[in-house]
Structure 1
Amino acid sequence: MTALCWIGLFAEGYDLGVFGAVLPGLMADPVWKLSPVEAGMLASSALIGMFIGGFLLGTLSDQVGRRRCFLGCIALFSAATGLAAVAPTPLLFALCRLVSGIGVGGMIPVASALVTEFAPPERRSREYAMMYSGYSIGIFAAALAGFFLLAAHGWRPVVMLGAFPLILLPVLAFLLPESPDYLMRAGREDRARAVADQFGVALAHGMLPSDRRKPAWSDALRIFAHGNRQATAGFWATTFLGMVVVYGLNTWLPQIMRSAGYDLGPSILFLGVFALASSVGGVVLGLAADRWGRGPTIASAFTMGAGAILMLSHHWPLGVTYVVVAAAGVGSVSAAVLVTAYLASYFPSDLRATAVGWCLSFSRSGAIAGPMMGATLAQLGWPVATNFYMFALMALLSAGAILCVPRKKA
């Protein structure tokens, strides 16, 4: 299950990372002639779609099942990305990115629920981090595609590669099982037990056919009920602030580093290093979280990320800069991944995808604010270092917010 969800997250990572990888080419397009603010608005169009997708598809997967929503998300964002590659105007490009964002927004809550429900409790953080490494490697793949194709062939072929997962969809449909927890709630007890036996999954304690009832959309409001409110507030604040950092850097890092005096090739590769380090760092942080606890591990990671981002405000030798960028990736993307793993394991299975989807949808406002903040600073002509000061502050506030989540009682 982790491997299947890894493929979905890889496709999502490419879809999101490709915009940052082609941003220098988009801004240099002689026909579109984008300003920094217009480029920021194009970046935010996908994030608006993700806001919608997280609310809608995260909740829907708790109602109609994980499998259908997982496959539907991949089909939606891959097809829309392919259309974006041939969009004749910035407006149509933005509309395609918005539709793509709906599918992307639903992928994380659905995949989070699947991995959490199939992984042994003592290994959930590391399994989740392994699954989510696909997202970071997808961003790295987008950076590599940009490095090899952008200068010679322009931005459109780089974006078109994001439609490739459509070819894999029949294979994923054949291999992907439904969640046993959902099957039990749906009254398909025999099938639930067969899947549970096949994958070595323990069915949720107390989940009996006699307890079944048709789920209602109003059930989603339980995340705000007494006993959940403080945790919900802590998770929402952490993810909002973390998304400002992650999406701000994902979108603007190549352009910021180029403005700081680095050549185009290294500037694009900085995004790849940022993503690749976060994929490895996520697994390391997952191991640490399973051993020492998720809250302290996440807070420590965000604090380290703030320090690394501050270091980027100075011009270092190229090799040193790659190391600092890697540390920033671990202290932002990897930390944010672990927040979602923590969230997915915090709530019960019938509320899990809803809790993740609603939280991540709220945090998309931070994901929109991050690119727009970078665009505004570029438009104002402020010093490059100002970007890093702001992103470092957001990372530090994330570290404090996660510590507000109450420890879950056994």
Structure 2
Amino acid sequence: MSTSVRRGELGNGALVAIVATCGLSYLFDGYDLIVYGATVPSLTKEWGLGPGQAGAIGSYALVGMLVGALVVGSVTDLLGRRRVLIAAVAWFSVGTASCALADGPTLFGVLRFASGLGLGAVLPTLNALLIEYAPERKRNMTYAVMAIGYPLGGILASALAIPLIPAVGWQVMYLIGAAPILLVLPLALRALPESLEFLVARGRLDEAHRLAARLGVELAPAREPKARTGRRGSLAGLVGKGYLMPTLLFWAASFCSLLAIYGMSTWLPQLMREAGYPLQSALSFLLVFNIGAIVGLFFGGRAADRFGAKPAVVLGFALACAAVLLLAGGGAEAVVYVLVAVAGYGTIGTQTLLNAFVTGYYPAESRAAGIAWTLGVGRLGGILGPTIAGALLDAHASLTVLFGLFAAVAGVGGAVVCLVRPQKDDASALAPDLRQADRV
């Protein structure tokens, strides 16, 4: 249900600016997700890494993302969502580009951890900002349009890796990671508004009213005191007033989802090489993996708005489980490509819809903390995904075992989301006249 401090919807210009800024930030988050998987074959060859060591290095960025995600809720409460998003984008852009300077696995791992700190702060912040300003009846679809940037970033990394790595080397892939400084920051500085929820919660009402007037929306003054007294950014706000069980279930679902996403994204090219495909063909599977996420999100976002986010997320997990399980059996190349595309939607696309579900589930004063903690705990799964798969490869496990593991994890994620209770009608809404029509 909606928990907004405003009445009415943004004009198209303001909404486009928010969606574009958040979408471009998300794009380079997705680029960073895939770039390591795309460069793993080159790194293992140049530095003589074993699968276990390569998997551990792949997890270093995720450890940084875990720390960044858990800290960002408190930081946004002090500084605001706009400032934190801008700072986080600048941080991870510099960190990613610096990885090109690494001359060995130790320095490379340290730099990946550092860039992960910024990446971990980006996603919860833009989630909260986008969900706040998204139109009520098209919230999930608006989020899906923005979040298409994530698999687009994966496509960009995959498409560039195919010609650039053989021709120039793996370093150029990380130098490209500095592009947000030129593409995202100028747009964010010029067009991205601060969160009205943040301004009201901090008691900056005059500033909030001025911003609302500029955006063409109206604050709900009768409910402002509640926003100010909420436990902003507090973990206690996520486990009290009936939210304990949904919070734990969201954490478990995100854990499963990110384990599957990062495990598959890191090792898919290598697994396809193990299956007999040459390097360029193996990299093309990463491309298809992300294309599947984009195509699926158009349908998944509409389905979430029409039928509710919960059934859309459960269906996505089920598709991931089925597709990855079937990948274990191999088959004709065309069939494998289709299964990889479905797996891309079932993992990346489902995580996107889960993020929207989680962010919209909590009241406004707990929204940023809710998604930050969900993604933070989920990063533990992301850390384990590459590491477990690398250890299994070290132990010469079969492709059936590896794909079966990811399929089982997706199945557990869907089962967990089934247990999330519907929101209560009185769940701390700040503006009850704007309740979401597509309640789950």
Asked if Structure 1 and Structure 2 have the same fold, meaning a TM-score greater than 0.5 normalized by the shorter chain, the answer is yes
Distance 2:135 2:350 in 1: 21
Which residue identity lines up with residue 179 of structure 2 in the other structure? F
SS, match of residue 83 in structure 1 = helix
Match of 1:172?
A: 188
Q: Judge which range, 289-298 or 37-46, deviates more.
A: 289-298
Deviation by residue 1:232-271 (Cα, 9 ceiling, x = unmatched)? 0110111111111111001000110111111111110111
- What does residue range 218-237 of structure 1 map to in structure 2 within 5 Å? 219-237=234-252
Give the aligned partner of residue 68 of structure 1. Answer: 83
Relative to 1, partners in 2 of residues 1:244 and 1:206: Cα closer, same or farther, differing over 3 Å?
A: farther
TM superposition shift of 1:283: 2.8
Aligned counterpart in structure 1 of residue 201 of structure 2, from 166, 185, 208: 185
CA deviation after TM superposition for structure 1 residue 210, in Å: 8.5
Q: CA RMSD in A?
A: 1.7
Structural mapping, 1:171-320, within 5 Å: 171-201=187-217, 203=219, 206-208=222-224, 212=228, 219-320=234-335
**For residues 230 and 361 of structure 2, what CA distance do their matches in structure 1 show?**
23
Q: What is the letter of the counterpart of residue 101 of structure 1? A: G
Taking the aligned partners of 2:151 and 2:393, their CA distance within structure 1 comes to: 26
Q: In 1, Cα distance between the equivalents of 2:417 and 2:375?
A: 15
In the alignment, structure 1 residue 398 sits paired with structure 2 residue 422: no
Unaligned runs of 5+ in 1: none
Does the 8 A contact of 1:85 with 1:160 survive in 2? yes
Contact 1:62 1:354 in 2 (8 A): no
Contact 1:281/1:334 (<8 A) preserved: yes
Task: For residue 333 of structure 1, give the secondary structure of its aligned residue in structure 2.
Answer: helix
Q: What does residue 339 of structure 1 align with?
A: 354
Deviation of 1:19 (Å)? 0.3
Q: Distance in 2 between matches of 1:183 and 1:26?
A: 46
Are 1:118 and 1:199, in contact at CA under 8 Å, matched by a contact in 2?
Answer: no
**CA offsets per residue over residues 158-178 of structure 1, 9 Å max, x none?**
111111111232332122110
Q: CA deviation at 1:202?
A: 5.3
Conserved? CA contact 1:302–1:335, under 8 Å: yes
Deviation per CA, 1:210-246, whole angstroms, max 9, x where unpaired? Answer: 96359666x3321011400111011011111111111
Q: Which amino acid aligns with 1:354?
A: A
**How far apart are residue 139 of structure 1 and its match?**
1.0
Is contact 2:158-2:287 (8 Å) kept? Answer: yes
Any conservation in 1 of the 2:293–2:344 contact (CA below 8 Å)?
yes
Deviation at 1:184, TM superposition (A): 1.7
Which residue is 1:11 aligned to? 28
> Letter of the aligned partner of 1:55 in structure 2?
L
Checking the alignment, whether the CA contact within 8 Å between 1:185 and 1:207 is kept in structure 2 is no
Q: 1:347 to 1:203 in 2, by over 3 A?
A: farther
Structure 2 matches for 1:352-363, cutoff 5 A?
Answer: 352-363=367-378
SS at match of 1:267: helix
Structure 1 residues 107 and 114: CA distance shift in structure 2, 3 A = same
Shift of the alpha carbon at 1:296?
A: 1.4
Contact 2:140 2:353 in 1 (8 A): yes
| Deviations, residues 338-374 of structure 1 (Å, cap 9, x unaligned) | 1110000011122111111111111111001111111
Q: What's the offset of the Cα at 1:131? A: 1.2
Please give the secondary structure, in 1, of the residue aligned with 2:328: coil
Task: List per-residue Cα deviations over 1:375-409 (Å, max 9, x = no partner).
Answer: 01110011112111010000111110001111012
The one-letter code matched in structure 1 to 2:33 is L
Hey, what's the Cα distance between the residues in 1 that align with 2:357 and 2:78? 22
Q: Is the 8 A contact 2:227 2:364 kept in 1?
A: no
Unpaired stretches in structure 2, ≥5 consecutive residues: 1-17, 426-440
Measured in 2, the distance between the counterparts of 1:200 and 1:234 equals 37
1:161 aligns with 2:176: yes
The verdict on how the C-alpha distance between 1:188 and 1:205 changes in structure 2, with shifts beyond 3 A counting, is closer
Deviation at 1:15, TM superposition (A): 1.6
Equivalent position of 2:145 in the other structure: 130
Asked whether the 8 Å contact 1:119–1:201 carries over to 2, the reply is: no
Distance (Å, rounded) in 2 between the aligned partners of 1:250 and 1:238: 18
Deviation, 1:186, is 2.4
Structure 2 length normalisation: TM-score? Answer: 0.89
How far apart are residue 192 of structure 1 and its match?
A: 2.0
For the Cα contact (< 8 Å) 1:59–1:220, is it kept in 2?
no
Give the direction of change, closer, same or farther, for the CA distance of 1:387–1:66 in structure 2 (3 Å limit). Answer: same
Residue pair 1:137, 1:279 contacting (<8 A) in 2 also: yes
1:100-132 per-position Cα deviation (integer Å, ceiling 9, x unaligned): 111111111100001111012211111111111
Alignment partners' CA distance in 2, 1:337 and 1:160: 27
Change beyond 3 A, Cα 1:201–1:275: farther
Identity of aligned pairs, percent? 36
| Separation in 1, partners of 2:29, 2:77 | 21
Q: Is the 8 A contact 2:27 2:153 kept in 1?
A: yes
Is 1:349 aligned with 2:331?
Answer: no
* 1:209 Cα deviation from its structure 2 partner: 5.7
Report how far residue 305 of structure 1 moved. 1.1
The 2-side partners of 1:329 and 1:48 are apart by 23
| CA–CA separation in structure 2 for the residues paired with 1:20 and 1:327 | 19
**TM-score, scaled relative to structure 1:** 0.95
1:203 deviates by: 3.7
Partners of 2:290 and 2:315 in 1: CA distance: 19
Number of matched residues? 407
Aligned to 2:343: 328
Asked if structure 1 preserves the Cα contact closer than 8 Å seen for 2:88 and 2:122, the reply is yes
Matched residue type, 1:8: S
Q: Distance in 2 between matches of 1:339 and 1:203?
A: 28
